Amino acid sequence: MAAPGGEAQTTAHVGKRRKRPRRYWEQTSKKYNSGGKSSDGAKQKAKKRRGDRRKKRKGGLSGEVESEDPKLCEQTQETGKKDNSGEKSSDGPKQKAKRRRVDRRKKRKGNLTVKVVSEDTSKKDNDGEKSVDGTKDTADENATKRSDAKFISGKVDPFPGEAPIPEERLRKFQRGNKFVVPEEIRSKLKDTLAKSQEAADLAQTQAARYDLLLTEDAGFLEGDEGEDTCTISQDDIAEAVDITSGSKYFNLRLTQFGPYRLDYSRTGRHLLLAGRRGHVTCIEWQTKNLMCEMNVMETVKDIKWLHSEAMFAVAQKKWLYIYDSNGTELHCIKKFNDVLRMQFLPYHFLLATASATGFLQYLDVSVGKEVAAINTKLGRLDVMAQNPYNAVIHLGHPNGTVSLWSPNQKEPLVKMLCHRGGVRSLTVDRTGTYMVTSGLDRKLKVYDIRAFKPLNSYFLPAGASCLSLSQRGLLSASTGDIVQVYRDVWGSGPMTKPYMAHRVRGTVWGVGYCPFEDVLGVGHAEGFTSMIVPGAGEPNFDALDMNPYRSTKQRQEWEVKALLEKVQPELISLDPGLLGKVDKATFEQKHKERVETLGYDPLAVEKFKPRMRKRGRSAAGAVEKRKKKVAHEDQRDVIRKSVKERMEKEKEKKRKDSAKEQLGEKTALDRFKK
């Protein structure tokens, strides 16, 4: 940031700005140095005199700092320092621009920041002093003069207005399309619309500007030239990074009760491990603090945190159990039997379970009620994922289909055929745009689930058993005892090599990324491995949503707020923004309402009733014939009319063309013709 050779940072004002109140040092400097040379008029002299007189009255020395405000004192001293170091130099336009930018930023920020920046710049100036020699003695005078000169000179700000925001960043915060106000709308409504549009724009730009203030950057991993990142071992990475990060690569050897499934809490601080043979542990994994450990003495199929780290659900051999973080059994829910997989919808407080009997059930954990039980009739459900964007549950089936479910409908919202063999695993990214599936046909497929279209398809020699997507879109896939991480899965180019690869001790049973961390947890037959995957986690969390560093008090407060704005299960649908859209009544709806209010159908066409005729002319066949004559009469009318119109148009066109031909080329003299 520091510009070597930069000009002295005075408080000189570039561009147009309100006149700054005069400071004591300017006056004194004038008094001592400039004498009669100063360009200010009699008015200022008078002011000076007045000031002097006041000083005398106060009994202070004329050269001393008079300001009573301590803050002002500080500032003035600093600026004084700056002025001392200041000198004239021939700096390039680039540096000038930079200085101006700093100036402008100062202007935008409050007092406090001004101080900090000015300190910075004074340091910078000292650097500059070394490189460029200057005349130090007249520095004071110069500074004051320059500031005045720049103020008076008509130089314009080369960067007028507010700093521009990149289009791309603006687009990130765009919600819906801009509303174009139709011309014929009444004035009051027009005002309202314009105002709301203005507010939306302001919110968008402010949010986009806030991006500058985000503190953390995402992680990354780059190999040497010609070196693949996938060949870099975890040990090397752990050695290369700092100790804290290095300690995030660790193995837990748990050979007795494996294979293990795992779940990270939403803050990313807590980890749940569940061995198939009944071992359940709950760890604060960064501090390696064991919260509870037990053996439930039953087969454990799956494990999931509920809304906070105080409770978790365990799908055991027969029923679903809920424990608290000390390992105390809170509930045994016998309505939920033979559960194989679970998903927790955090904003709805719903625990969705998929069972071996083909039932998809929803449990509202805030009130403890079963919200919906859907018999999918699709056999054993052991592949399950949730779409974090719209809370729709995705189920994978042995016949290669993936079905999408909401608790409000007994039928699947969507059923799509994804694989030729059974679906082994699937996952959905957090924007709700992409779904990645792997099947027994050893293929890995990427779908756009807004358009329900396949995007990419990859062939993996051994197929992938467990899939997981990180917050920043890294895909982990496990084949046997190898975990591979892929980058840019839905990018345009073909994905050839994994981003990272790691071999664990046993067959992989469950994988999961830790939120807000560059860590991938792998549960396998021989225990648990936590591996470092640079660039996996979201670097900047929102503390009002999920705060990894929250205190107990903050958690409690968050819990109350979250419960208050619990989204009702009725609102789960493919489009989560449906509630904010205008519900335009269809023509049929409007027509139906009209019929109801009027009591008759105004658009109904009277049905043709053939007249009764005698002598066999009203026999069934004859009547049908007569009916046929008038059938589609109204349609025929419309067609006749349109044909007629078209003919007329053509005629008109022909007439015009011929008229043009007759006139021939237009000349300037045509205007005088009669």
Partner 1 sequence: MLSGMKVKVLCRNPDDYVRETTRDIQRVPRNYDPTIHPFEVSREYTRALNATKLERIFAKPFVASLDGHRDGINCLAKHAKTLSVVLSGACDGEVKIWNLSKRECMRTIQAHEGFVRGICSRFCGSSFFTVGDDKTVKQWNMEPPGRGLQEEPLNTILGKAVYTGIDHHQTEGTFATCGQTVDIWDEQRSSPIRSFSWGVDSFSCVRYNPVETELLASCASDRSIILYDMRESAPLKKIIMQLRSNTLCWNPMEAYNFTCSNEDYNLYTYDMRRLDVPVTVHMDHVSAVLDVDYSPTGKEFVSASFDKTIRIFPKNSGHSREVYHTKRMQHVICVKWSADNKYILSGSDEMNIRLWKANASEKLGLLTPREKAALNYNQKLRDKFQHHPQVRRIARHRHLPRDLFKQKRELREMKEARRRK
Binding site for partner 1 (CB under 8 A): 172-173, 175, 207, 210-211, 214-225, 227, 232, 236-237, 239-242, 244-245, 248, 347, 388-391, 430-432, 516-518, 532, 534, 537-549, 551, 554, 564-568, 571, 576-580
Nearer to partner 1, 192 or 667 (CB): 192
CB of 198 to partner 1, least distance (A): 15
- Cα separation, 625 vs 630, in Å, equals 9
User: Which token pair is 663?
Assistant: 């006139």
What is the phi-psi region of residue 664: left when phi exceeds 0, alpha when psi lies from -120 to 50, beta otherwise?
A: left
Tokens 């004084």 locate to 80
CB of 349 to partner 1, least distance (A): 12
CB of 325 to partner 1, least distance (A): 21
Instruction: Note whether 64 and 28 are within 8 A (CB).
Output: no
Nearer to partner 1, 152 or 212 (CB): 212
Nearer to partner 1, 29 or 343 (CB): 343
Secondary element (H or E) of residue 445: strand 443-448
State the amino acid at position 271 in one-letter form. L
Nearer to partner 1, 359 or 558 (CB): 558
User: Which token pair is 408?
Assistant: 């409000």
Spatial CB neighbours of 211, under 8 Å, sequence gap ≥ 6:
169
Comparing CA positions, the residue from 212, 222, 231, 6 lying closest to residue 96 is 6
CB of 380 to partner 1, least distance (A): 30
Burial of residue 342 (CB within 10 Å: 0-12, 13-18, 19+) is: buried
CB of 561 to partner 1, least distance (A): 10
CB of 226 to partner 1, least distance (A): 9
Nearer to partner 1, 240 or 639 (CB): 240
Nearer to partner 1, 242 or 606 (CB): 242
CB of 548 to partner 1, least distance (A): 8
Tokens 């500007």 locate to 209
Nearer to partner 1, 130 or 581 (CB): 581
User: Which token pair is 558?
Assistant: 């968050």
- Cα separation, 480 vs 530, in Å, equals 17
Nearer to partner 1, 382 or 429 (CB): 429
Comparing CA positions, the residue from 360, 443, 372, 373 lying closest to residue 403 is 360
CB of 139 to partner 1, least distance (A): 39
CB of 240 to partner 1, least distance (A): 5
Nearer to partner 1, 323 or 405 (CB): 405
Burial of residue 546 (CB within 10 Å: 0-12, 13-18, 19+) is: middle
- How far CA 418 is from CA of 68, 396, 398, 528, in Å, comes to 76, 9, 11, 31
DSSP label at residue 183: T
State the amino acid at position 84 in one-letter form. N
CB of 241 to partner 1, least distance (A): 5
User: Which token pair is 606?
Assistant: 């009277």
Q: What angle do CA 393, 432, 565 make, to 5 degrees?
A: 70
Nearer to partner 1, 320 or 519 (CB): 519
Instruction: Note whether 374 and 361 are within 8 A (CB).
Output: yes
DSSP label at residue 178: P
